[in-house]
Structure formats: C-alpha cells, structure tokens
C-alpha cells in the first residue's frame, strides 16, 4: 500500500497522524508519570513506613505483576473487541487505581491498588503502539512509534519535577493525586479516537483467543516470537531493576533524598535525545541496528554506573544509561507489532510484553534481595549488563529486519 493511500485511511477516519500521535502520546506520558514517580515514592515510603529492602522491592514487583497480567489479557482482547476500546479501558483502570492509592495507609492496600494500576499500564502500552503502527505509512511507522515512546521521557521528566518539588514539602500522597487527575483528560480525548483501520470486527468474530495464541507460536511466527520474548524479558528485567531503584541507589551511595532526586532529574533529561536520535536512525539504519547499538550502550553504561565512586562518573554514566535505554525502548515498541499480521498483532505484542513484565517482577525483587544480603551495587548492575547482552546476541543472530515492511 502506498504512503498516499495509508494517509487517506487516517483522514477518512477524521483524525490526522499528528493528532493520533498526540492523543496516544498523552496517555503514554501519564503512564510514564506514574511509573517514574513510583521510584521516588518508594524512596519516600521507605522513610515514612520504615520499609525493608524486600518490601521496597515488592512495591516495584507487584506493579509489574499487574503489568504482566494486563499486557496478556488486554493484548488478547485487543484482537477481539478492537484497539480503541482497550485503549480507553486501560487508561481508566490506571487513573482510578493511581488516585485511590494516594488514600492508602498500609503497605498491603497500596500493593493491591498498584496491581490494578499495573494492569492498566501493561495493557495500554502494547495496544497503543499497535494502534499507531497500523495507522501510519510504512515509511514513517518506525519514526512515529519511537516519537510516541518519547512521550515516556516527558512523563518521567514531569515525575522527577513533581517528586523534587512536591514530595519533600507536601508528601507522596499529593504527588499521586497530581499524577492521576490529568489522565482523565486523556480519556476524554480517546472517546473520539477512531479504531485502527487494520482491525476487522468480522475477522475478529471468526477467530477464537486460543487460535490467536496458537498462531503466534505457529511455524511461520515462532522464530519472531522467540526473539521478542527473550529481548522483552532481558530489557524489562534490567530496566525495572535499575530505574525503579535509581533514587534509592543514589541514597545508598551516600546522597540525601533531595540530592538523589536532583541527580535523577538530570539523568532523566537525557531520555529525550535518546528517543529523538533513535527516531532519526530507525528509518535510516533499521530496527535491529538501533536496538543492538542502543542496548549495548545501555549495558556499558549500567556497568560503569554500578562501579562509579565519584559524583561526576555517577551522573555521566546515569545520563548515558537513560539516553541509550530509552532509545532502545522506542525501537522495541516499533519493532514488535511488525512481526505479526493484523489478526494476531495485539495478541503477539501483548504476549511479548507480558513475558517482559515477568522480568519486571523479578528485577526489583532481585535488587531488594541482593541489597539485603550485602551484595554491592556494582555486582547488581553487572548482572543487568549481562542480561542485556544476552538479549542483544539473540536479536543480532535470530531477529529479522522489518524496516519499511508493509503491514497486512
């Protein structure tokens, strides 16, 4: 299909590519705001509720348990009832859960609500990237999806600002309420959003969920599925293990909570050029090149960050860690939907993301356990470095290039 025809599809649905990116990106930004703020809230709750390292790890992990469940269930449903409906349901679930979690006074209640928040987050992200992927031309798809992912950096940036200025003065509950309220505006915008032009209700009715799951692992797609599952697991395992603990790690290295928030804010700014350079390269050099290059950059930065003993090395390595890791995330979200046809695209992307979230469960728990048992931060970050390298090797040798592939 030519670029001209694909643009017409979007126009006929009364929404421009720019508006689609804006509406999808807003939800993505609020998701990142919540996840980013959680890392700062964990550091604050440690002090207020006198949490142990294991309890701190569980806060991050229960969020990822919800994301694993949400990515799987909502990915399956996206191929049955459409991308748009899931898009609205997931953001609603996230917004309400996040707002209610500000009212909790016990760790148990907070964990329960974080599970539902995680379900909304985990379900929305692969469905959003699938919807956008199916609505733009092959020549622009990679760039647009990476730009969609760049909204994550804005969300993290706002999270860092709120955490730096609000949490120390007004507390974590006020910060959570501030993060939840704007998301309802994004829900309002999504009601007018057309569904993906690639989604066919008639085709969806003819197919069962079981058939879609089996097809993801059929001979035609098994190799792609294997590669995606390995890469998603290693990337999410390392990302949540490192980034949810980032403010706490800074405190462990001797900085005050205020100082750690300030330095993480500086590191967060590096996410934006990471996304924008990945968006520029992805249509010129291909998905695999960007993923392999940026993941290797992430691995090297993680190794240096874990061993850093001076403030300068810590900040510089943290900046490169943010730059490369978030650029890789953008490429991964562009790469994933391109592995499958429309009838199983939501299922395939959702299952890959769900497997990744299992890594997100284990990462924070592993950090909490290793810190409690006396292992150094350098050793812990070296493990994450090794995890990323495994994903790179599998992708480099078994992954297929999908640049400018026409989606069917």
Reported as a single tens digit per residue, the pLDDT across 40-60 is 788 888 888 988 888 887 887
97 has pLDDT over 60: yes
Calpha distance 333→48 (Å, rounded): 37
The CATH architecture assigned to 15-398 reads: Up-down Bundle (1.20)
On the CB side of 264, how many CA atoms lie within 13 Å of its CA? 31
Tokens of 231: 């890469």
Domain boundaries, given as residue ranges, for the chain? 15-398
The predicted pLDDT at position 5 comes to: 39
First to last CA, the chain: 9
The predicted pLDDT at position 42 comes to: 84
**254 or 44, which is more confident:** 44
208 has pLDDT over 70: yes
Overall average pLDDT of the 259-276 stretch: 80
324 has pLDDT over 90: yes
Give the range among 21-35, 121-135, 250-264 with minimum mean pLDDT. Answer: 250-264
385 has pLDDT over 70: yes
The predicted pLDDT at position 308 comes to: 81
244 has pLDDT over 90: no
Q: How far is CA 307 from the centre of its chain?
A: 26
The predicted pLDDT at position 233 comes to: 95
Of the pLDDT bands very low, low, confident and very high (cuts 50, 70, 90), residue 257 is low
**Top mean-pLDDT range of 104-113, 135-144, 186-195, 357-366:** 104-113
Average pLDDT, the chain: 85
Question: Could you give the C-alpha distances from 100 to 111, 167, 213, 347, 361, in angstroms and in order?
Answer: 12, 17, 34, 30, 22
Question: Could you give the C-alpha distances from 257 to 39, 155, 248, 318, 334, in angstroms and in order?
Answer: 12, 21, 8, 17, 36
The predicted pLDDT at position 258 comes to: 67
The predicted pLDDT at position 158 comes to: 86
**Top mean-pLDDT range of 155-169, 363-377, 382-396:** 382-396
Q: Which of 392, 332, 309, 316 is nearest to 133 (CA)?
A: 332
Overall average pLDDT of the 132-143 stretch: 85
Contact 61, 118 (CB under 8 A): no
Overall average pLDDT of the 186-205 stretch: 76
2 has pLDDT over 50: no
**109 or 17, which is more confident:** 109
Overall average pLDDT of the 53-74 stretch: 86
395 has pLDDT over 90: yes
Overall average pLDDT of the 282-294 stretch: 93
6 has pLDDT over 60: no
Overall average pLDDT of the 52-73 stretch: 86
Q: 254: phi > 0 → left, psi -120 to 50 → alpha, else beta; which?
A: left
- Is pTM beyond 0.85? Reply is no
Of the pLDDT bands very low, low, confident and very high (cuts 50, 70, 90), residue 187 is confident
The predicted pLDDT at position 15 comes to: 63
The predicted pLDDT at position 13 comes to: 47
Give the range among 6-10, 120-124, 153-157, 190-194 with minimum mean pLDDT. Answer: 6-10
């Amino acid at each position: 299909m030519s670029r001209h025809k694909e643009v017409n599809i979007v126009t006929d649905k009364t929404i421009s590519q720019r508006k689609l990116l804006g509406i999808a990106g807003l939800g993505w930004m609020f998701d990142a705001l919540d996840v980013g703020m959680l890392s700062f809230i964990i550091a604050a709750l440690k002090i207020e509720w006198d949490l142990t390292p294991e309890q701190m790890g569980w806060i991050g992990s229960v969020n990822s348990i919800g994301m694993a469940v949400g990515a799987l269930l909502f990915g399956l449903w996206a191929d049955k009832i459409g991308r748009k409906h899931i898009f609205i349901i997931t953001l609603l679930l996230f917004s309400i859960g996040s707002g209610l979690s500000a009212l909790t006074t016990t760790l148990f209640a907070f964990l329960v609500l974080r599970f539902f928040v995680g379900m909304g987050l985990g379900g929305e992200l692969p469905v959003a990237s699938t919807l956008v992927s199916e609505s733009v031309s092959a020549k622009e798809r990679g760039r647009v999806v990476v730009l969609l992912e760049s909204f994550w950096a804005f969300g993290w940036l706002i999270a860092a600002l709120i955490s730096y200025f609000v949490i120390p003065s007004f507390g974590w509950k006020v910060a959570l309420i501030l993060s939840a309220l704007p998301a309802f505006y994004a829900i309002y915008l999504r009601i007018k959003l057309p569904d993906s032009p690639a989604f066919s209700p008639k085709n969806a009715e003819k197919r069962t969920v079981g058939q879609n799951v089996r097809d993801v692992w059929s001979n035609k797609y098994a190799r792609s599925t294997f590669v995606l599952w390995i890469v998603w697991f290693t990337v999410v395992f390392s990302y949540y293990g490192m980034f949810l603990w980032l403010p706490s790690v800074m405190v462990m290295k001797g900085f005050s909570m205020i100082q750690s928030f300030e330095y993480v804010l500086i590191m967060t700014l590096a996410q934006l050029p990471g996304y924008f350079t990945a968006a520029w390269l992805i249509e010129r050099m291909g998905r695999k090149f960007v993923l392999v290059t940026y993941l290797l950059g992430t691995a090297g930065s993680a190794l240096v960050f874990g061993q850093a003993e001076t403030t300068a090395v810590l900040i510089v390595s943290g900046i490169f860690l943010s730059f490369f890791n978030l650029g890789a995330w953008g490429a991964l979200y562009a790469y994933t939907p391109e592995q499958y046809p429309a009838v199983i695209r939501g299922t395939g992307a959702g299952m890959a993301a769900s497997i990744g979230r299992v890594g997100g469960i284990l990462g924070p728990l592993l950090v909490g356990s290793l810190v409690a048992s006396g292992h150094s931060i350098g050793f812990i970050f070296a493990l994450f470095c090794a995890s990323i390298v495994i994903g790179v090797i599998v992708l480099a040798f078994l992954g297929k290039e999908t640049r400018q592939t026409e989606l069917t």
